[in-house]
Amino acid sequence: MSWQIIIVALILITSTATVLEKFTLKKEHALQYLTLLSTLILIFSLPLVFLGKINFTIHPALWMLIALPAISHSLAALFFDKSLRHLDISQVLPMMNLSTLITVVAAFLIFGEKLNSFQILGIVFLIIGAYSLEAGSLTNLFNPIKTLVRNFASKHQQFIFYSILLYSIAYLLDKWLLTQVPILTYFFINILYSALFYLILTFGLYEGFTDLKTGFAAGGKLILPISLFFLLQSLLFFKAITIVPLALLIPLFRLHTLVSSLIGGEILKEKHLIYRAATAIFMLLGASIVFK
């Protein structure tokens, strides 16, 4: 399977899961939802153990190191979902594209990843398109910056910022550790740590099994497909990291914010959708340049 097909599948799966997630988060709290989600993903991953696909004999130091990106991903998801629960999907997702710039620069500095001029041009198009998506219209071109500064006291705006930083750190750790650990083993240990992290928070700070039961009832039929979508997303993402430079992968992966914003915004009747649809052309142009 080519890396282009993997990334397109990754974008479509993540977009679908994010829109479904928005509906679910209207009915339950972020921690409640993530605890149930990670537990279900772990359960669905157990066949990998019985099929002998997981290498539990990796060095103990690697076991401990995998906890770092697992907790970073878990905290980032918690902050992201708290924002997604209270803000418009088309407001939260474009802001997440800031992690693209951070990751591209860090990948260059830490891993020495280099892109050709066409790839850099495509990434610039993607970043400009993502910013325009957040602006909403030409007359509001500077609104994202003003809003970020003015509303940074808002905890949900801060949660987006924390999520951006934590995701960027997690991606860099994923990149390095996946050169040391097989993909399926890394995925399973990662989700194991995530599930344990959320369960400890749920049982330590809230009502444990009662919350899980309530969360399952609130999530309804959506929680099962969402968990399967995110299971596939994780596997595809970790596979992509091993074959695509991080500085190239993350800008392309963040195209899911465009798809989710347009689809989710239309379904949820959010504002400024015509302008956001226009920015799609710009972002898709950037993606086509990068894909060449």
Q: CA angle, corner 122, sides to 117 and 124, nearest 5?
A: 95
Give the count of domains, the chain. 1
Q: How many C-beta atoms lie closer than 10 Å to residue 115's C-beta?
A: 18
Who contacts 278 (Cβ-Cβ below 8 Å, separation ≥6)? Answer: none
Are residues 161 and 40 in contact, defined by beta-carbon separation less than 8 angstroms? no
Are residues 204 and 83 in contact, defined by beta-carbon separation less than 8 angstroms? no
Who contacts 220 (Cβ-Cβ below 8 Å, separation ≥6)? Answer: 24, 27
Name which of 39, 43, 98 is nearest 74 in CA terms: 39
Per-residue pLDDT of the chain (292 residues; tens, 9 = 90+): 688 888 889 988 988 887 787 777 777 777 888 888 899 999 999 999 999 899 999 999 999 999 999 999 999 988 887 776 766 655 665 566 666 777 877 887 888 877 777 777 777 777 777 667 666 555 565 665 555 555 555 666 677 778 888 988 999 999 999 999 999 999 999 999 999 999 998 888 777 777 677 767 766 678 889 999 999 999 999 999 999 888 888 877 877 766 666 665 544 445 555 666 667 666 666 666 665 6
Cα of first residue to Cα of last residue in the chain, in angstroms, is: 16
pTM for the whole thing? 0.80
Mutual angle of helices 273-291 and 255-267, in 10-degree steps: 160
Residue range of the domain that includes 159: 3-291
Residue type, position 67, single letter: A
Who contacts 187 (Cβ-Cβ below 8 Å, separation ≥6)? Answer: 45, 234, 235, 238
